[in-house]
Every structure is written in C-alpha cells, then in structure tokens.
Chain A
Amino acid sequence: MINAIINGIQIQVEQGTTILDAAKKANIKIPTLCKHPDLDPTAACGICIVKIKGSDKMARSCCTEIEEGMDITTHDAEITAIRRTVLELILSNHPNACLTCIRNQNCELQSIAAEFGIAEEPFEKILSEEKIDESIKTIVLEPEKCIKCGRCVQACQDMQNVWALSFVNRGIKTKIAPAAEFKLAESPCVSCGQCSAYCPVGSIYEYDETSTVWNALNDPSKYCVAQIAPAVRVAIGESFGMESGELATGKLYSLLKRMGFKAVFDTNFGADVTIVEEATEFVKRLRGGEGILPLISSCCPGWVDFMEKFHSDMIPNFSTCKSPHEILATLAKTYYAQKTNIPASDIFMASIMPCIAKKFEVHRSKEMYASGNQDVDVSITTRELVKMIKQTGIDFAALTDSEPDHILADYSGGGTIFGVTGGVMEAGLRTINYLITGKNLEKFDLKDVRGLKGVKEADIRIGEHDLKVAVAHGLGNVEYLMNKIRAARETGQNPPYHFIEAMACPGGCIGGGGQPRNVNDAVRNLRINGLYADDKNCKHRNCHDNPQIKQLYKEFLGEPGGTKSQELLHLYYRKREEYKSYRETDFLF
C-alpha cells in the first residue's frame, strides 16, 4: 500500500493507482475529458493536471502513478485557471452547435464546459474543414467536432483490432479517419460502433434512421411492428433515470404500442428459435454429419462482417443460422402474416437493437429477404429509440407494464441471456444437452462461461461427449481464438474446441455500440446481472421448452433444421478478402 496526501487528506491506495483514481478515494473529482475507465490514458486533453509538491511542473493525474509520500494538490486558483484556458482552447477548435448536435445534453465536453461555467469564447474559432463521412450508413464521422482524444482509435485498433480508424496528419491538421483518404465504407470498418460508444462528443455516432420509423408510423398503409433485442431492456432505463440493469421489458412493450406499433414482438423469441436451430446444427456436426467443428456462433453481425473480411477461411465453421432479429422478422412476415391475414408487403418491421452493425445486416445479402420482402425494414439503436421517446413526450420511467403479442414474443431464459457474453453458449449448451441426452440440465447456470473475462474456456461433459467450448467478446479476443483454431488446423491437430461463441462488443450486446453511453465494466456488470435475473425468473429456462416455439415448429416450420427452416432461417457467407490487405496485423513493429 502507498501512503500519500491529496489536498491535505491522508490516503492509502494500492501500488499502481493513478492520482486520478486515488483522488476518488478522498472524494475528489479531478476533471478529465479524454480518460475513459476502459481505456489506457491517452494524456491528450491536459485537463486533469495536478501539482505535486517539489516539482514545478504539473502532472497529468490520469497517467501518473501515485508514489509513497506524494503531496498532491488537485485544485487551486492556478490549476483551475489553467484548466479553464485549456478548455477554452479546446472549445475554440469545436463548433458551437450544441443545440443541433446529436449529443446535446449528453456530451462530455458540454458537461465539463458547464462545470467550469464557461461563459465566453476568448479565442478565434479554428474549425476543421474535413467533410462529414456517412458513406457506410451505419456510423457517421463528423471531424469538425472531434477533440482528438484518441479513444475511438484505441477502441478500433487495440480493442477491436479492426484498424479502420487511425490518426492522420499531425499538429492542428490531425484528423481521425481511415487510411489513404478512404471513406469509412471502403475501410475495414465492421460497424461494431465501439468508436461511437467511446466518443465523448458528437463526432462519431450512429447513422440516424429514426425518421424512417416515424414515416412508417405515420403511413396508414403500413402495418408497423417492432421487436426489442434482449440487451435493450436492461440499458434503456439509464437514459430515463433508472438504474443500469433494471429490467424495462414491460415498459418497452407499452411504449411501442403507444408509439403506434400495431404489434410488439420480442427478439428473445427469435433467440429461442436460433438456439433450437443452432443446437440442432451443432449436434448434427458433432455426430459426424455435414459441416465441421468447432461450430462458431453467427448471431453478431459485426463479427460476421469481420469474419468475412479477415477470417473467411472460417466460413465452413460458421453456424448458418440467422441472427435472432432476422429470424423473428422473417417469421413475422411469413408465419404471423399468414395467421393474421395481413399481407407481408404491408408489414413494416422495426428492430430496436443495442447494435450498429444490424443497420448493415438488414440488407447484407439475399437471405435477408427470405420472406419475399426485406425482412427487417429498419434497425435502430437503443440510443435512437431514446431520442424518439423524448420526442413523444412519454414519461418512460413511469410507464406501466403491458403484454406483447405473445405469438412472437414469449421467451425462455435462454433467449434473454443472448444479450450477454457467454449467453449464447449457455443457452446453446442447455439445448444441446437436451438434444443429446433427452434430458434437461439439472443445474442451469454455467458459471465458467459467464463474466467479463475476454476469453473464457470451459469443459463440459454431455452424454458421452467431453465438449470443449470457448467464449470471446471484443473482436481482438475473438481473433485470438480464431488464430488458435487456425494454428491447430494448419499443424494437423484436432480442433481445440467444439463450440465457440463470438461477440464483437465487450460484454456482448449489453455493451453494444448502439447502447446508452458512459459504459464501463461496472455498468456492464449491472446490465449483465439484469439479464441473468430475467433468466432466473423465466418460467422456462430452456429455449426448446418455450411453448410458443414448440407451436411454431408444429404449425409452421416442421423439424428444426428441416427444409422450411433452411429456406427461411439460414444464410450463407462470402469471402470479402479485398479488405484483407488493409488490415494484416501480424507485423513486427
């Protein structure tokens, strides 16, 4: 333990603690703009400076480790004046567009400016002339607002290993953009959206499609339906003063009905179908049928995009199951349309997702039109729904619960945990166990695959099979697993795993690129706990036990993995290796 003094207060912290974190122990908040708890300090903003007795320089508290006997001052007239000037300098390089900015009232720069009571701008405006890049139609880059904190670059390069975003040029001309003057659409970007989740200002954000939803809702010829992804229900409340992880499923059903959706479905239902199909596929492969092991999950569109671009040799390992919201949408425009006699072409399906990559997924290939129409008409993020709610004037937190349209909404615990890292694996194993042994697991909780560790491995015995499984979240971690599988394959060894779950975003969908911001591991854990609690409270823990699922197969699909399922619920992948030379990462330097 290290003893030090901050503002005259004696503190004791563990070795390696930064001054910034140590100050929190003394209930002192040192202002900072660039430091994010998940990321290494970039030391970019210069606002978290403090004085250390005996040094005439000021130190950045975000990246200075506290040392024995340090005597630190975090606030005095001089420090505050300097911070204010630095902030004014940053503001001189940032447009005054708060009122029309996507981050209005939710912007870290705006908040800190308010905290400092910035009332005037003493310096000349110097703005970037770089154009907005919305080429990829999932993520928008607005360089004029960028404060060059570098969080997005760290997320894109170090965390996700995508290398779409990078620092270009230097000095005042520094910009964050893809290499070689490419647009984002031409870059290796897989639309995971983590850049937008970490952006402190309105410089990187989701491609806004709320007007598409409003137009559909206002179009009397449309029969608008909506579905909500598992991870949305434990995060959306944060934007309305609720606790992270507080379940808002019933409120969301009520809300969507009030907004004018004729039917409200639940993506968790789609997740149950996915598991039944995927577990069937797995057992087939395990028993030596068509396809090879390990089976790799395919419900994360960021990961699918990443795989097609950089790991297309894994295509034979990929589950051919569509993602839950696509499955649900296909069923809505076939099964549900038939049952209700509503023409599929009149149905407008809006998916409410924690995810930005889904915006691309909805039109990625012909299988996304399995119903004869585009199955999902629009996919909006949790953040976009929040924006819409604010426009409706509805007090979200005060809404009472209501029921969804059960036929495509009732779900099992296995379906709801799709939203967390390890959830697909856990739900999958529950059903795989049933398919192999004919019995349900006695203990449902598979602790080994839970939690925020980047790569999780587990051994599990099912019937006479000793299965090795692995779960990875964050594309950098996923890539680690792919390399391991490839290395085994190339040296002629047995595959190291039977089943792999991969999610692009840290924490899985609950930490998705389209979720409410200001996420760190504490928030991720609360959201995760919310979904596990939902699982525990479900009447049925296993996807295959969901009565609505049973009825679906009986009435409409027939056998899991059967002809009709194959036709409606599965898809194929293509190599897109032209991106590969953009992002080789095996380099020595």
Chain B
Amino acid sequence: MFENITCIKIGMSSCGVAAGAEELYQQLSAVIKEKKLPVELKKVGCLGICYAEPLIEVKTGDNPAVIYRNVNIETALEILENKIPSELVIDEDLEIKNQKRIVLKNCGKIDPEKIEDYIQNKGYQAIKKAILELKEEKIIEEIKKSGLRGRGGAGYPTWLKWKATKEVISLNNDGKFVICNGDEGDPGAYMDRSILEGDPHSVIEGMMIAGFATGAAKGFFYIRAEYPLAVDRVQKAIDQCYDRNLLGEKIHGSDFNFDLEIRLGAGAFVCGEETALISSIEGKRGYPRPRPPFPSIKGLWDKPTVINNVETLANTPYIILNGGDEYAKTGTDKSKGTKVFALTGKVKKPGLIEVPMGTTLRTVIEEIGGGIQGNKKFKAVQTGGPSGGIIPEKYLDTPISYESLQELGSIMGSGGMIVMDEDDCAVDIAKFFTKFCVDESCGKCAPCRIGTIQTLKILEKLTNGEGAPEDIDKLKTICHSMEKASLCGLGQTAPKPVLSSIRYFEDEYLEHIKEKTCRAGKCSFLKQESVEK
C-alpha cells in the first residue's frame, strides 16, 4: 500500500471547505504524518466540480492524476490503500469537455498559498515581459488585439479604459490608481471568489500589468465583505510578492514601482458599480456618481483610475504571454476569449466552468451541466443576476456573447447562470430579484429607490392573487422609467428580470392575475387554496 501515491490535492475553496474538505485535510495530514508517508498533501483551489465536493486528486507514479468525488476520511483511507472506489472516480476529461481554461487554468491545480506554485506555472512572466519587452504602448496594443472586454457585465473594451487613464498626464506617479473590483455581489455567482481563492497571483499580476501600462503606482483590491477566505489568500499572496520584490520598488530592476493594498467591502451590492465602489474605498457611503466624468479620467480621490473586474484582470497575463492575436482566436466576432460561469440551480452538475465565447447555452446546460436534475423539465436560464434576465428554452441554441444575451433581454453579467425548472415560477423569480434590488438600492436617486419598491409591491400583489389586469402595464411603465432615469447601473438594469419574464412568460403573469393560479405551485395564494381543499 501507499507505494505509488506521490501527491494528493484537496480542493479547498469555500465550498470545498463547507463540504468538509478542511476536516479531511486535517485527518489525512495526521495519517500521513503518523505513518511517515512520502506523500505530498496539497491544498488547492476550486476544481470547478462543485456538486461533487469534497474532491481529492491523487497522483500515483507517472500515471495521470485521478479525481475522486464526495470523499470522506473512510474513502480517503481506502484510496490510500489502493482500494480504488471506482464509483467515486471522476473522469476529468469528461468534466472539462467543451471547456477551455484560461482564467481557471491554475485553479484546483496549484496551491494558491504558495507563490512558488504560481511561478512554476509561468507566473509573473507576463509582467516581466511587459516591463522589459513590450513597454506601455505595446501592452495596450496587445490588449486591444485580444478583444478583451470587461467581465464584470457591461463588456466595455478593456484597452479603451486603460488608454484613457494612460493618456491623462500625471505629474507625480502616485497620481493614478488601479482597482480590482472583487465586489462580486450577484446572488448565484462565485466566479471571482473562486479565482481569488484558487489563483490570487494571476489577479495580482493582472493588476501589475494594468498599473505598468497606465502609469499607476498604487493598486487597491476591493473585496466583498462575505469572502473571508479570498481575503486571506490574497493577503498572503501580496505578502509573498513583497518578499520577492514583485511588488514595491524597482520591479524587475526597472523604474516601475507598484504597491497593492486590500480594502474590504461591507455589504452593499451597489458597490459593484464602479463609481459607488470608489466612494466606498474613499470610506464613504457607497453612493454612485454621475458619469461622465468616467473613473478612467477622474476616479478614486479624483485621480485617473482603472477599474477592472477580477476575471478581466486574470485574463491579462495570458494575453501578454501569448499575444493578443492568440487570445482572439477563441470566441466570437465581437466577444473574444472565454467566460467563466457559475452554473447553478436545477442542473445535475452545478459547478464553476469556463467556456469559449460563442458556446451555446444548450451546450453549457445539457452537456456540461448534465441537464436538469430529477427528471424535471427545463424552464429557463437566468444570466446576469439582478441585472439580467431569464431566457426560455427556444433560445437555448444562442451562442453566448455580450450582444446575443443583450438582444434576448438579459446580459452577460459577471457570470452567474442559474437554471430553472418547471417548479420555478417566472413571477416569483422576478419578485425574488426585485426584492434583492429593493434591499440593495442605495437610495440616492428616486427612480431606483421608489421604483424598485413599487415594482415589488405589484409583484407581491400578483403572487398573492390580488393582481389586476392593468398591473402588467404598470410594471412596464415603472421599469421603463427606471431604465432611463436611474443614476447608475443598479437602477438601470434592475427592471431586466421583470421585463424579460414578462417578455417570455406573459401567459404566466396573466394566469396569476386572471386565474389566480401558479403553474409552478410556488406562489402562496395557491398553497392557501390547496390547504383549504
């Protein structure tokens, strides 16, 4: 026994830990220590196969590694004894079929708390190349060629943001900032958390590239309040960088200085909006500001500021190392590269996935997600969280891109993809997201502050069986005003879940209003009735 096993990796992202990976690690490590086994036990980030946590990957000799699912200490010991519980083996090739891993390439492979692991996998080569070979203009040129667009949702070309900031003439070099937007707030999305937990150095390197390209000497990591593990790992990563002079002064012997600091959010979805995020880093209420002026010109403390999302930044080292053209080979005409999604809801295999842009929704849900669980019928897929919409079955063959999802009344968003089945109600899901927006509206501007709650009131009437025929028009009127008159993205997109559900499931709205029934059986008035019966 034990003879061939050289390395065991345990998936230790938040969800792995929640499923018991921490205990498993402790127990295994005790056994290995006690028996003085020559086995390297490694903590790694998210493998993306979330439904099967806790996961371990076992490497024996020169053989390919094997991944086991739903492992506990008993099964782990069996594995150690080479009694392979074959029903627990996961075929990794099958798991990542249809996927392409650029951003997640290290997630689940390397120990995120060890900078050596990152460096061994070409880590910090991109920033070196950027500083020593490419220089500022060529970096932005490569990013432009890559076609990379903001992965936070809106899809603004990254190079344009960088160029705008670069072109502001700054007299002293503390005058510009790079911010990593890690305020992932969409309910049902955890891409950024997984990247920060699984491969924090890739994001740090991305920030350094952005800093060097734009002339910023200071970066801020803004991380959501609810991600303690991510914060911990990013802080460790920053400390390691300082120890190796990858952060600080004269990086790679050049004149480039770059400092990095974490600032934490404190629970406000609106702080995912870039101007609200800036207010929050400034230590204020997370109120958005009118744009223009855009942060790239006038941002943090009124200084030019590049703000990019975690995933956007994590893409940049790859682009610098492999060239923009290479990156642009993946994807569609206008949407290049890959996109990470948190595929959740009623699919058989929820998980963190990365697919080339242009992959169809059907491939994602049926092939990667394994279809709907429990022999239920697919109803719709929700993308973009509270800023997005729901997409019904007839559009499942749509290739994923910023434009295509927009046309369907949803958005790409940051990457939450929630699959709904026949037990889910279109009105109820609209109500769920609207309630979320009521709680998260900052309250600064009237259209959003009052529009969200009035929308919720009407949806509540509908789900209570008190809806009136004119309510659908009322919803549309409020939603249209919110889209046009709200100050920031939160209010402008908050109507999307409502409008898209009316667009595709108006018959269900009418049922709620006229027949006082909910075909999914979700809405309360129906339950009351059935109790009476």
A–B interface present (Cβ within 8 A): yes
Chain B 272-299, CB-CB to A under 8 Å as 1, else 0, gives 0000000000111100011010000000
Give the CA-CA distance A167 to B481 in the complex, in Å. Answer: 25
Interchain CB contact under 8 A, B446 and A46:
yes
Tell me the complex Cα distance, A90–B446, Å.
7
Give the distance to chain B from A406, nearest Cβ to Cβ, in Å. Answer: 54
A41 at the interface (CB under 8 A from B): yes
Instruction: Write the B431-453 contact mask toward A (1 if CB under 8 angstroms, else 0).
Output: 00000001111111111011111
Interface stretch among B135-143, B207-215, B472-480? B472-480
Contact A46 B438 (CB under 8 A): no
Cα–Cα distance between A363 and B492 once the two chains are bound (Å): 52
- What are the residues of chain B within 8 A of A90 when measuring CB–CB? 446, 450
Stretch at the interface among B10-18, B178-186, B482-490, B505-513: B482-490
Asked if B425 is an interface residue, CB under 8 A from chain A, the answer is no
Closest to B457 in A: A124
Question: In the bound complex, do residue B443 and residue A86 qualify as a contact, i.e. CB atoms below 8 Å apart?
Answer: no
B292 touches A64 (CB 8 A): yes
Give min CB distance, B449 to chain A, whole Å: 6
Q: From the candidates A46, A47, A82, A126, name the one contacting B480 in the complex (CB within 8 A).
A: A82
Query: Are B449 and A148 touching (Cβ within 8 A)?
Result: yes
Residues of A within 8 A of B474 (CB): 122-123
Q: By the criterion CB–CB under 8 Å, are A65 and B446 in contact?
A: no
Q: Are A49 and B484 in contact (CB under 8 A)?
A: yes
Beta-carbon contact of B481 and A89 below 8 Å? yes
- Interfacial chain B residues near A167, Cβ < 8 Å: 285, 443
Q: Is the CB of A85 within 8 A of B478?
A: yes
| Contact indicator B457/A86 (Cβ below 8 Å) | no
The residue on A at minimum CB distance from B441 is A171
Q: Which of chain A's residues 47-102 have a Cβ closer than 8 Å to chain B?
A: 47, 49, 57-58, 60, 63-65, 81-83, 85-86, 89-90, 92-93
Interface flag for A111 (CB, 8 Å): no
- Tell me how many residues of B have a C-beta within 8 Å of chain A: 35
Of the candidates B442, B450, B487, the one whose C-beta lies within 8 Å of that of A170 is B442
- Report the minimum CB–CB distance from A360 to chain B (whole Å): 30
- Supposing A82-B484, A89-B447 touch, asked if A171 and B290 sit within 8 A by C-beta, the answer is no
Contact check, B442 vs A46: say whether CB atoms are below 8 A apart: no
Is A174 an interface residue when CB atoms closer than 8 A count as contact? yes
B454 CB-CB contact with A under 8 Å? yes
Residue interface mask A560-589, B partner, CB < 8 A = 1: 000000000000000000000000000001
**A247 sits at the interface (CB 8 A):** no
Is B268 in the interface zone, CB < 8 Å from A? yes
B interface footprint on A296-318 (CB within 8 Å = 1, 0 otherwise): 00000000000000000000000
Would A43 and B484 count as touching, CB distance under 8 A? no
Contact of B485 among A58, A148, A589 (CB under 8 A): A58
Complex: chain B residue closest to A93, CB-CB: B450
Chain B residues contacting A92 (CB-CB under 8 Å) are: 450, 454
Contact of B446 among A81, A86, A122, A173 (CB under 8 A): A86
- Let me know if A147 is at the binding interface, CB within 8 A: yes
Write the A4-47 contact mask toward B (1 if CB under 8 angstroms, else 0): 00000000000000000000000000000000000001111111
Most buried by B among A45, A169, A172: A172
Interface centre among A47, A82, A85, by most B CB within 10 Å?
A: A85
Known: A89-B478, A89-B481, A126-B453. A170 touches B441 (CB 8 A): yes
CA distance A148 to B453 in the complex (A): 16
Most buried by B among A47, A65, A169, A173: A173
A60 x B453 contact (CB < 8 A): no
Q: How far is the CA of A41 from the CA of B287 in the complex (A)?
A: 14
Q: Which residues of A contact B441 (CB under 8 A)?
A: 170-172
Q: How far is A86 from B485 in the complex, measured between Cα atoms in Å?
A: 8
B290 neighbours in A (Cβ, 8 Å) = 41, 43, 60, 63-64
| Complex interface: chain B residues within 8 A of A170 (CB) | 268, 285, 441-443
Q: Does B282 lie within 8 Å of A82, measured CB to CB?
A: no
- Check B484–A58 contact: CB distance below 8 A: yes
Cβ of B268 and Cβ of A45 under 8 Å apart?
Answer: no
Rounded to whole Å, the gap between the CB of A93 and the closest CB of chain B is 5
Chain B residue with the shortest CB-CB distance to A49: B485
Q: Select A57's contact among B449, B454, B492, beta carbons within 8 Å.
A: B492
Instruction: Determine whether the beta carbon of B446 is less than 8 Å from that of A147.
Output: yes
Whole-angstrom distance between the alpha carbons of A295 and B157 in the complex?
A: 61
In the complex, residue of chain B having the shortest beta-carbon distance to the beta carbon of A60: B290
Residues of A within 8 A of B285 (CB): 167, 170
Q: Which residue of B lies closest to A59 (CB)?
A: B290
From the candidates A83, A123, A148, name the one contacting B443 in the complex (CB within 8 A). A148
Give complex CA distance A576, B139 in Å: 60
Q: Are B445 and A124 in contact (CB under 8 A)?
A: no
A86 engages B447 (CB within 8 Å): yes
Q: A44 vs B443: C-alpha distance in the bound complex, in angstroms?
A: 9
Q: How far is the CA of A581 from the CA of B474 in the complex (A)?
A: 49
With both beta carbons as reference points, the residue of chain B lying nearest to A170 in the complex is identified as B443
Q: Which of A170-220 contact B (CB under 8 A)?
A: 170-174
Q: Which residues of A contact B486 (CB under 8 A)?
A: 46
The complex places the Cα of A83 from the Cα of B485 at a distance, in Å, of 8
B442 / chain A contacts, CB cutoff of 8 Å: 170-171
Residue among B441, B443, B450, B487 having the largest count of chain A Cβ atoms under 10 Å:
B450
Q: Sample 9 A-B pairs with CB under 8 A, ordered by A number.
A: A46-B485, A82-B481, A82-B484, A85-B478, A89-B454, A89-B481, A90-B446, A172-B449, A172-B452
Interface residues of B (CB under 8 A from A): 268, 282-285, 289-290, 292, 438-447, 449-454, 457, 474, 477-478, 480-481, 484-487, 492
**Known contacts A60-B487, A172-B441; 18 further A-B pairs (Cβ under 8 A):** A57-B484, A57-B492, A58-B484, A63-B290, A81-B477, A85-B478, A89-B446, A89-B450, A90-B446, A92-B454, A126-B457, A148-B444, A148-B449, A169-B443, A171-B438, A171-B440, A589-B282, A589-B283
- A residues contacting B by CB (< 8 A) are 41-47, 49, 57-58, 60, 63-65, 81-83, 85-86, 89-90, 92-93, 122-124, 126, 147-148, 150, 167, 169-174, 589
